[in-house]
Amino acid sequence: MGQHTGFALAEMLVDYGVEYIFGIPGGQTLPLYEADYAERAKLKHVVMRDERSAGHAACAYARISGKVGVCDATVGPGATNLVSALGEALNSSTAMVAIVSDHPVGWVNHIDFGRASQGIDQIGLLKAVSKAVFRVPSPDRLPELVKAAFIKASTGRPGPVVLDVPADVFRQEYDFQHLENYVEPDYGRFPARRSAPDPGDVEKAARLLRAAKRPVMLVGGGALISGATAQVKQLAELLTMPVTTTFTGKGILSDDHPLCLGVVGFMAGTQCAETALRSADLVFIVGSKSSQNSTFTWTVPTPEQKVIHLDVDPGEVGRVFRTDVGLVGDARLGLDAVLGALQRGEQIVPDKERLEWAQSLKQEWEHTVAQRVASDGTPLDPHMLMAELGRVMAPEDVLICDAGFASAWGALYFSQREAGRRCIFPRGLAGIGFAVAAGVGAQLAAPERRVVTLAGDGAFTYVMAELSTQARFNLPVVNIVLNNAAFGWVKWAEQAWYHSTFKCSDLGKIDFAKVAEGLGCVGLRVEEPSQVGKTLAEALDAHKPVVVEAITDPSSTPM
């Protein structure tokens, strides 16, 4: 076959800076795979074991690299399997382009109820979990729609965009000249374009911040997407203003910064963050959508607290809470503007009393954590394991947590010693079965850094087939599975909410170390507290994919 649409698509992906596509081949997507094979020096296909995993790998790749993640899926069940991953990317504002094949254009009357094999209204399905779906009706429309997909994914509030390519369009021979006219490489990264808030609103915000007696920042993932770590640190130090974060905002300050009070949450958060947020007379929300967890089910900020809200999405500002000043724009540019307004006025003197208050809250929380970490019994207490993990990991290493208790263990008890995106949580949909697949994408995005995934045994079984992907590509990911033979969060909820155990959360025993060996990885098992640090260090030094099975106490909870 000659040069078909698949070759044009592959060439454009390369021009947008795409290095990896995560996916599973199908008959309808083979033109893309043929083209990728021809471009293999520039473009590599990472074949996963599930389309959901492909989406999660692309999502993690995007979050670590700052580049638009790309995945692919075939028609029908490939598209339906991709839904959960696209939902995670949409809700976590992660820029992705998903290439999904479809039935031939002329088969429109045969798709319903699978008259055509694997037929389903996948466009309607995918629209619900993406910023946009662009169907390619003919090869000559491909260039403008690829450009539209990258623009849509990387601008404003980032998110996933679907490029739906019918099988006959994919296979059709195509003289793809002048593709360069449709390529603007800036849109291969996000945020591709930045906007700044209105100067008048900035001045209002600066006046409120100067007048506040006890201001507190609540910082979300949007600030990390924007790369606003330096601005948050500078503003916090200028105003002696404590910083709390959402799960996805973790890392905007290093955890050892005296003004960093950690993650806030109504069921999983640090006590010092909650106390500070509730005690504030002004809450400055930055890059956060005011979600259920970080606002204690939308009860904080209270009507008595002043609110400044900075967000790139104008639809989020003031959407949930009465807002005294709304700042619409990129977090980095917005904070730069606020800093400029504050520095133009009368000199601000550091507030020693406010700093001492923040430090006293933090020390009380750290004392609580130290007591929990001190456990030396068996089965292992994850509090202790997280402390050891923080000790043996380097500041630049990456921790990826699965949903459920694993996210809470990582957010609350893993000490991040360097600011930036060092922790990833699937908080978009909070669906389990994320971490192992995400580890593939993260390791390819940052080959010079060590990647560790953390999952409970329930979540791990969702996605452990991707261990074979790690082995196939020789990715030195360390996968820690907290094996308590239960869906831990559900077991806790049974007891906390219904004062009983239904046993529906109990799981059978699996030898995960042995499973790891069968899938081509190193398998390690740890049960004794004295062996935890040594085993984790051994895993990190293995330079190959490893599973560390930690036998943990089913009664231990991060809540």
CATH of the domain at 246: 3.40.50.1220
Instruction: Report residue 418 as tokens.
Output: 């360097």
349 and 401 part of one domain: no
Residue of 239, 234, 180, 230 whose CA lies nearest to 211 = 239
Regarding whether 135 and 111 lie in a shared domain, the answer is: yes
Assess whether 128 and 215 both reside in one domain. no
User: What's the rounded Cα separation, in Å, for the pair 126 and 79?
Assistant: 8
345 & 451 share domain: no
pTM beyond 0.85: yes
Domain boundary among 359, 383, 415: 359
- For 165, phi then psi, to 5°, come to -120, 110
Q: What is the mean pLDDT of each run of 10 residues along the chain (559 residues)?
A: 85 96 94 84 94 98 98 97 98 98 84 81 96 96 97 98 96 87 97 97 98 98 98 98 98 97 92 97 97 94 97 96 97 98 94 97 94 83 94 97 96 96 96 97 98 97 97 98 85 79 80 97 96 97 97 85
**Amino acid 519: pLDDT:** 97
**Chain centroid to CA 93:** 9
Closest CA to 332 of 311, 308, 307: 311
| Peptide bond before residue 301 is cis, with ω within 30 degrees of 0 | yes
What DSSP designation does 25 have? -
Residue in 176, 178, 145, 135 with CA at minimum distance from that of residue 4? 176
Hey, is 169 helix, strand or coil? helix
411 plus 494 within the same structural domain:
yes
Residue 332 and residue 425 in one domain: no
With residues binned 3-state (H G I as helix, E B as strand, rest as coil), the percentages for the chain, rounded to 5, are 45, 15, 40
- DSSP character at residue 347: P
Tell whether 267 and 150 lie within a shared domain: no
In a domain, 556, yes or no: no
- Number of domains observed in the structure of the chain: 3
Give the model's pLDDT for residue 2. 60
